[in-house]
Structure 1
Amino acid sequence: MTRRAALGLIAAAALPGLLGGCASAGNAAETPGPAAALRLGYFDNVTHAPALVGLDQGLIADALGNTILQTQVLGAGPAAVEALSAGAIDAAYLGPNPAVNSFVQSAGQSLRIVAGAAGGGAALVVRAGITDPSDLAGATIATPQLGNTQDVALRSWLATEGFETSTTGGGDVDIVPTENAQTLALFQNGAIDGAWLPEPWVSRLVLEADATVLVDEASLWPDGTFPTTVLVVRSDYLAAHPDTVRGLVAGHAASVDWLTRHPDEAARVINRKLTADTGKPLPDAVLARALTTVTFTTDPYAAAFPVLLLDAVDAGTAKPGTLDGLFDLTPLNAVLAEAGGAPVSAAGLGTE
């Protein structure tokens, strides 16, 4: 049994004792009623395809009605949390670990997860000559940012393999948080030995830099199911503008539905949005490979979050705390019910 599988059983058994009282989400600074604007952050990653498709197809803007949609491309989860905390954006697609860290650090005041977006699509890729975990002794491995979801996953996995790491560098394996595009260049130049990344960067290193997959993160989770991207909203924005957030969630759900119903068109639409944002499309082979590893879903896989918190605490990137109130899936389940869909569970970590 993998460490995460074991932790999942422990977390499920300990859940009632782990959780405390429900946190308040209100802030009098917001004006009640529909919002004039919603500022949404996302990444140009395949794991953020619901954002890419929702923006390209106008699904999110249409669902928001008269609320003006403003968008911002971000680089990694901790950067998105900083923008949320500073009030620079109102909602964001981001990885689960930065969401958890923000929630715990703010004593439940900062944000709410209102939907899942993607699962899967993350792996450790390495250079030629590394074929076994023992070969990583003394290696240098990149992650997108300290404390982001892939960074925590790498540190947690290395610990199960008997390696010590440090959040300040060094250790048995040196982990260097690095922007994804730079990681590709560093790997091609032989400056790093591998990287734990989300898609499409896994596929880019495999197809453009001859990397091989040493660990598919799906192998570490029961049934291969784990959250990679969620949709979060600032707590005060949610409290002041619940109808606007419901519109955002409706547009997001429509994007996930579009991806499910149009698999043959997904690559073209995703690439069109990536080109609009970055000026350069992904190679067809890279995008095709990446899409085979990612599942798009509105389910945030809430039961995994106590495991993610334990991993982050053990890795030294988060503090212990309660996750009670992390999820508000009420708007999502209302949208799903209207469409005749089944409700999504908050696993006892919030409202649904």
Structure 2
Amino acid sequence: MNFIFDVRRHFRRTGERFAVVAALAAITLAMMPAPASAQTRAGSVTLRIAYLKGTSDLTLAKAKGSLDKALAGQGVKVVWAGPFPAAAPAFEALNADAVDLTSGSSTSFVTSIAAGVPMAIFGYQPMTARNEAIVVPRDSGIHSLADLAGKQVAVNKGGTGEYLLVRALVKSGIAPDTVKRRYLSPSDTGSAFVGGGVDAWATWDPFLSIAQSSYHARVLADGAAIGSDNAVGYFVRQDYLKAHPEVVKTVLRVLRDENVWTAAHPREAGKIWAAELNLPPALADKLGENNVSPLRAVLPDDVTRIERVARWYVDNRIISTQPDVRSHIATLAD
């Protein structure tokens, strides 16, 4: 029970704590170097990276120091900001020019560029079926998606959670408006899930592994059953990409090297993720199993998948206008 309490305490976020994060971001911004154009004139370059509480190759690169080392060889200083609880606040920091680069989901990317965030995707990593799911308490009477009718499901607005829930319902022929969406950040949802404040939770790793191991969650539908087109993406401000394309190329190269290492050492990667996220070492194997998939530069088929998500978002009234995805794709020639 002490472990469950510690995890709930670690991942719980209230409005006040989000305010603290925002204040810290403002302080960090004030202390950071000038934007990319000014840096170039001054003869020095800084890359400001927002890292998430997530199981990504960016987290590994931070923990191992590989990205700092590679960029230092090019005279680039790396400044890390975070950890951010999910992609949405990291994208907000990117939009405010508080950071230059971050990671997140392709679904959150769609909603962000639809809102006008000046960002481009330069790396694409399909999520595994075990990385995302809709879960319910183990002793819940919910045994099918149809049983969600009239129930409350926790999702993050416009991101992976809302995408997973609505896609699962539509695929199963269930009217989405028959299920109540409760908009919560993933960090807020643990206590609501354990306390009965919601009946189900649409989520991803590491929150999925935490829910299963600590909150006695049962998978109702995983990414494969849902038919998810979601992916992990790596994103950069468009002005930074234009000013420093070689820096972004180096970031992608290092992340791909970490990705190859992860495929060969999933358990070791899981240990690093667990340590970085302040999770018990016992979760290492599960984190490694759930989160190993190839990372690549964005391919034409990947663009098509993102566009399909964007069209689906419009069709299901999650966003009002379909963004021009192709204008937000970073093409990094070797």
TM-score range, shorter chain: 0.7 to 0.9
Q: What secondary structure, in the 3-state scheme, does the structure 2 residue paired with 1:297 have?
A: coil
Q: 1:100 Cα shift? A: 2.0
Change in 2 beyond 3 A, CA 1:37/1:192: same
Counterpart of 1:183, as a letter, is T
Q: What secondary structure, in the 3-state scheme, does the structure 2 residue paired with 1:324 have?
A: helix
Tell me the TM-score normalized by structure 2: 0.78
What percent of counterpart residues are identical? 22
Aligned to 1:218: 224
Residues 149, 228 of structure 1: 8 Å contact kept: no
Matches of 2:60 and 2:102 in 1, distance apart?
A: 15
Residues 135, 221 of structure 2: 8 Å contact kept: yes
Aligned to 1:196: 202
Aligned to 1:341: none
Match of 1:258 among 258, 261, 283: 261
Matches of 1:215 and 1:248 in 2, distance apart?
A: 34
Pair 1:129-2:141 in alignment:
yes
Counterpart of 1:190, as a letter, is G
Change in 2 beyond 3 A, CA 1:162/1:219: closer
Paired residues for 1:19-38 under 5 Å: 29=37, 32=40, 36-38=45-47
Q: What secondary structure, in the 3-state scheme, does the structure 1 residue paired with 2:295 have?
A: coil
Aligned to 1:184: 190
Aligned to 2:164: 153
Q: What secondary structure, in the 3-state scheme, does the structure 2 residue paired with 1:70 have?
A: strand
Residues 266, 285 of structure 2: 8 Å contact kept: no
Match of 1:268 among 268, 271, 281: 271
Aligned to 2:8: none
Matches of 2:284 and 2:331 in 1, distance apart?
A: 31
Residues 39, 46 of structure 2: 8 Å contact kept: no
Counterpart of 1:132, as a letter, is S
Match of 1:241 among 240, 244, 261: 244
Aligned to 1:90: 100
Matches of 1:142 and 1:35 in 2, distance apart?
A: 45
Larger RCO, structures 1/2 (Cα 8 Å, 6+ apart): 1
**Gaps (5+ residues) in structure 1?**
1-26, 166-170, 275-279, 335-352
Match of 1:42 among 38, 51, 69: 51
Aligned to 2:90: 80
Q: 1:59 Cα shift? A: 1.1
Residues 100, 237 of structure 2: 8 Å contact kept: yes
Aligned to 1:349: none
Aligned to 2:288: 291
Change in 2 beyond 3 A, CA 1:237/1:96: same
Matches of 2:78 and 2:186 in 1, distance apart?
A: 27
**Runs of 4 or more consecutive aligned structure 1 residues displaced over 6 Å after TM superposition:** none
Match of 1:99 among 93, 109, 119: 109
Match of 1:282 among 275, 280, 283: 280
Tell me the TM-score normalized by structure 1: 0.74
RMSD of aligned Cα (Å)? 2.4
Change in 2 beyond 3 A, CA 1:31/1:200: closer
Aligned to 1:51: 58
Q: 1:183 Cα shift? A: 1.3
Counterpart of 1:303, as a letter, is T
Residues 60, 248 of structure 1: 8 Å contact kept: yes
Change in 2 beyond 3 A, CA 1:326/1:141: same
Matches of 2:121 and 2:222 in 1, distance apart?
A: 25
Change in 2 beyond 3 A, CA 1:84/1:162: same
Aligned to 1:68: 77
Residues 259, 294 of structure 2: 8 Å contact kept: yes
Q: 1:264 Cα shift? A: 3.5
Q: 1:252 Cα shift? A: 1.5
Once the two structures are overlaid, the 10-residue window that deviates more, 75-84 or 233-242, is: 75-84
Residues 60, 250 of structure 1: 8 Å contact kept: no
**Gaps (5+ residues) in structure 2?**
1-34
Q: 1:205 Cα shift? A: 1.5
Counterpart of 1:260, as a letter, is A
Residues matched between the structures, number: 287
Aligned to 1:328: 330
Matches of 1:146 and 1:176 in 2, distance apart?
A: 9
